[in-house]
Structure 1
Amino acid sequence: MKRCLIIINKNAGTSKKINFEKVEKCLGNGYVYTRKTLPDDEINEIENFEAVAVCGGDGTLGSVLEKVCKQPIDLFYFPVGTLNDKAKAQRYEKHKSVCPGCSDYESSAKPVVYGVCEKILSDGKYKTVDCDGDVFAYVFAAGSFTPIGYTSEVKNKQKFGILAYVWQILEEYKTHRIEARIRNGKHVHEGKFTLVMFLKSPRCFGFHFNKAFEQDGTSGHLLAVRSPKHNGLLGKIEMFFPFFRAFFIGLKKEKTKGKIVFEKTYSTYLDLKSNVDFCKDGEKQTVSEGEYKVSFKRSICNFTVIEKF
């Protein structure tokens, strides 16, 4: 029989609604199961399994995806986080998200497009950012508002759900000055940015704004907002208009000039002039000064989202 590893993150926002018995019943009797919980257990030797079931939020999915994206296995995702933006993005597939053990189940498993950030060395070769931390499931972003993904306390997310982020949004309404040179195809954007985001989703942090999202394409989108001229209250007032345009009105057409940069991208070269804290699928990752290549790739593993269990 095939071997399946089940991983449940007990710190995920809505993890109380899932357990090992539910997952095993959902996936059926075709597997020999191994159970692991986060943050208690170490997750290793995933390559010894034919299937992995991940129960958690976007960050949990991203941490597992970086280990299995190049493996010929089946990856089942049970979204029990707070926002679950990656799972909501997959709804564009328009298939029934039901358990494989159900009688009316039709497999929708297919490779998933993910992002990867690699540092460019002086000899032109690439290396991962921090060994296992180079892959992201749907978002890799730095600057204004992005810390809300990793600064909200677990107990607040489990108690209040998405409302736990509301206070954090007010706290993180700050001006950032990320000095960078961004080269995407023929377009070069240089200067200081209050937001730099790479995205493979129609939504992020609960905002459904990327109207140019393409589910099947091996591409993502670059969103960058230039820093305001002023600091303090004046700077926040200046910031309001481009952020309102991007996240509340939404973006569909590419924008290459002005305060907002919004472009389709397969690979982008990002030259950071200082160390920057990024939000990678809701987890903090500090990226050091230097030049990086951020690109989107198609996985070898087959990916299925299961929302009804």
Structure 2
Amino acid sequence: MNCKIIVNVESGNCKKANVDKIKRQVPADSYEVQYVKGDWQAEGFDCVVACGGDGTLSAALNRCRGQKLFYLPCGTLNECASQKAIDSACLVNGRYFSYVCATGSFTEIGYAAKTEDKRRWKGLAYLPQAAKYYRCHDIPAAMCADGKSFCGRYTLIMILKSRRCFRFNFNKGYDKLPKSYLLAVKSVGKDCLKNRIKLFFPFFRIFFCGAKPAVHKNWMLIPFDSLTLETEKRPFCIDGERAVLGGKLNFGTQPLDNPVTVLKT
């Protein structure tokens, strides 16, 4: 068996990727180690070890279909690090992502923090970005989750397969029902100081107090098997990476043919 080890040197804790320790955890006949900053490929290898953060895992899920995949969490947040194995992943129009795809308020912070700041300050590197990107958005969207339709204007739309995002353990429904969830917070209008103050209260309620699955007047958190989202083309944060999506977006969850083994650093 031949194995390729990918180390993303732009991940926040890439120095934790100890190649000798990885080889002890993943026995193989031969190894190839590649240190990357951007695009990479691993065709022709029986197994792949992806070392990096959430974005590295997301890229590996898409590039290593049909191959045995191992994941060494050495990013800044590592939302999937607590799992021993990952046996399913989210999909948006056929593209895998590990836990989050979101647009609107705050979502830019996932990809805006500089690599140097993440290495130095770890999770604290996102705090200045949170203040910078605290904005009111007005996103027109039509959504259909398992046959239930919603239409309106939103400041945040998040598809999440996790109990937490940016270390906020807010999704109180996930432990009992571990599937994909739609979080949508209604727009309060144009971006101004008055509306930012108004927006603070639902955000505090959701992220600091926690939320159970429900549909409220100003926001909703609902589990789903199938979701269709129609909106304008705009930037999304997918597992900490920027992507521009728009039009008709189909979301779902799919079992992986080869479950991902999560290694210990």
Shift of 1:67: 2.0
SS in 2 for 1:298: strand
2:124 aligned with 1:166, yes or no?
Answer: no
SS in 2 for 1:208: coil
Match for residue 192 of structure 2? 232
Query: Which of 256, 265, 281 is matched with 2:224 structurally?
Result: 265
* Aligned amino acid, residue 282 of structure 1: G
Give the 3 Å change call, closer, same or farther, for CA 64–210 of structure 1 in structure 2: same
Q: Distance in 2 between matches of 1:271 and 1:242?
A: 24
2:47 aligned with 1:60, yes or no?
Answer: no
Shift of 1:233: 1.2
Q: Distance in 2 between matches of 1:206 and 1:275?
A: 28
Query: Which of 84, 99, 107 is matched with 1:146 structurally?
Result: 107
Q: What aligned pairs does 1:111-190 form with structure 2 within 5 A after superposition?
A: 112-118=87-93, 128=94, 134-190=95-151
Q: Distance in 2 between matches of 1:162 and 1:78?
A: 18
Query: Which of 181, 206, 210 is matched with 1:221 structurally?
Result: 181
2:253 aligned with 1:293, yes or no?
Answer: no
Give the 3 Å change call, closer, same or farther, for CA 294–163 of structure 1 in structure 2: same
* Aligned amino acid, residue 292 of structure 1: L
- How far does the alpha carbon of each residue in 1:149-191 deviate from its partner, in whole angstroms, 9 at most, with x for none? 1010111101111111010011111001111101112321111
Shift of 1:216: 8.3
* Aligned amino acid, residue 214 of structure 2: K
* Aligned amino acid, residue 81 of structure 1: G
Q: Distance in 2 between matches of 1:304 and 1:84?
A: 14
SS in 1 for 2:80: helix
- Asked whether the equivalents of residues 182 and 189 of structure 1 are also in contact (C-alpha less than 8 Å), the reply is yes
Give the 3 Å change call, closer, same or farther, for CA 224–75 of structure 1 in structure 2: same
Unaligned runs of 5+ in 1: 91-107, 119-127, 129-133
Match for residue 124 of structure 1? none
Match for residue 18 of structure 2? 19
- Asked whether the equivalents of residues 137 and 189 of structure 2 are also in contact (C-alpha less than 8 Å), the reply is no
Q: Distance in 2 between matches of 1:189 and 1:87?
A: 33
Q: Distance in 2 between matches of 1:231 and 1:144?
A: 10
Match for residue 244 of structure 1? 204
Q: Distance in 1 between matches of 2:154 and 2:174?
A: 23
Q: Distance in 2 between matches of 1:36 and 1:24?
A: 14
Shift of 1:60: 0.4
Q: Structure 1: which 4+ aligned runs deviate by more than 4 Å? A: 214-217
Aligned residues: 265
2:263 aligned with 1:302, yes or no?
Answer: no
Structure (1/2) with the larger strand percentage: 2
* Aligned amino acid, residue 52 of structure 2: G
Match for residue 32 of structure 2? 34
Q: Distance in 1 between matches of 2:97 and 2:190?
A: 33
Match for residue 103 of structure 1? none
Unaligned runs of 5+ in 2: none
Shift of 1:20: 2.1
Give RMSD over aligned pairs.
1.8
Q: Distance in 2 between matches of 1:159 and 1:251?
A: 32
Give the 3 Å change call, closer, same or farther, for CA 181–148 of structure 1 in structure 2: same
Match for residue 99 of structure 1? none
State the TM-score, normalizing by the size of structure 2.
0.94
Give the 3 Å change call, closer, same or farther, for CA 245–75 of structure 1 in structure 2: same
SS in 2 for 1:264: strand
SS in 1 for 2:236: strand
State the TM-score, normalizing by the size of structure 1.
0.81
